Amino acid sequence: MNGLGGLNKAPDGVVIGLVQLQLPVVATPQDLAAQTARIVALVGKARANLAGMDLVVFPEYALHGLSMDTNPDILCRLDGPEVVAFKQACAENRIWGCFSIMEYNPHGQPYNVGLIIDDAGELRLYYRKMHPWVPVEPWEPGDLGIPVIDGPKGAKLALIICHDGMFPEMARECAYKGAEIMLRTAGYTAPIREAWRFTNQSNAFCNLMVTANVCMSGSDGTFDSMGEGMVVNFDGTIIAHGTSGRPDEIITAEVRPDLVREARRHWGVENNIYQLGHRGYAAVKGGAGDCPYTYMHDLAAGRYRLPWEAEVRITDGTSCGIPAPTRSYRPRREPGAKEAAE
């Protein structure tokens, strides 16, 4: 199934490389430029590492490190030199790439953004992290939903970022919109290791979807990221796993979107994403297609409230040194990946 990490590539296979990038320290524009050059060099390493690699994936915070610094001098823009360099690297090496930037936002806090660029250097996917890791992260909540694109070899591809993957609704949304491969990039540190592993597996199994997941690696002198590159098959089995945490190691695997499609069509038992909307179809024709979930109704109506809501004590970022916000959330519909690429 894995073709020895992509060394023996099947005609329908998609080979993914997950870069367990050394955690950087980025405090100045000069640091940002140096880290950009380092990522570009690693795109070249990925291509040299495996001629058949289709997609190289860099972790969240690959460019900025874990300082959570919102200094405008080190924030990025879609037309800035960092993104231009990533596009050139993908085109020159004829490889798809997934990258992370912290993007300047003139309307509020910066966005934590994931980008997928194709092998011709065109921006194909633009995603704003929906669930910043509160109370630690100061980023604006994403407001553009989860895009799904045609990736390498036509595979349906989605991207979520780090804490997003702790919400089963995020992976379900990716699969519901057709994703066959879901990328999850992260900067997680060791305390999250076990949750990282089992959510990567459950996100795959519950949606009959491949998940490809990678964290930063090594230490920046303060934080220690864990690497943990993982590729999980649609049945929940791990087919590649970077357990050593070695910085800059590229974990590779071949995945088969064609077998995802086959399972989604032919599985009966545990075809859970289908069965969610067709409850009890062995008893009633077509199954029950209602929505029996209170939290879904309440969230959609703007009245989501936990039974213990009044007892929750941490409801802003002040415990992590982030000033309490005074501005209420208002979604802004700005250009997504298609418009941004034009």
Catalytic-role residue among 76, 87, 129, 180: 129
162 catalytic? Reply is yes
- Enter the DSSP assignment of 38: H
All domains of the chain, ordered by start, with CATH? Answer: 3-341 (3.60.110.10)
Judge whether 7 and 46 are in contact, CB under 8 Å.
no
Reported pTM = 0.95
pLDDT digits (tens, 9 = 90+) for 303-327: 999 999 999 999 999 999 999 999 9
Average pLDDT of the residues in 249-255:
96
Grade residue 342 by pLDDT with cuts at 50, 70 and 90.
very low
Judge whether 69 and 27 are in contact, CB under 8 Å.
yes
Distance (Å, whole) CA 44 – CA 38: 10
215 catalytic? Reply is no
Tokens representing 261?
A: 């499609």
- Enter the DSSP assignment of 279: B
Sequence-separated (6 or more) residues with CB below 8 Å from residue 37: 85
Sequence-separated (6 or more) residues with CB below 8 Å from residue 160: 114, 127, 129, 130, 146, 170, 171, 174, 182, 183, 184
Catalytic-role residue among 76, 90, 98, 162: 162
E-assigned strands of 156-236?
Answer: 156-161, 181-186, 210-215, 217-219, 224-226, 230-232
pLDDT digits (tens, 9 = 90+) for 36-90: 999 999 999 999 999 999 999 999 999 999 999 999 999 999 999 999 999 999 9
9 catalytic? Reply is no
Strand-pair category, 111-117 with 96-103: antiparallel
Measured torsion, CA atoms of residues 69, 96, 332, 317, in degrees rounded to the nearest 10: -30
Query: Across all residues in the chain, what is the average pLDDT?
Result: 95
H or E stretch at 113: strand 111-117
Q: Which amino acid is at 248?
A: D
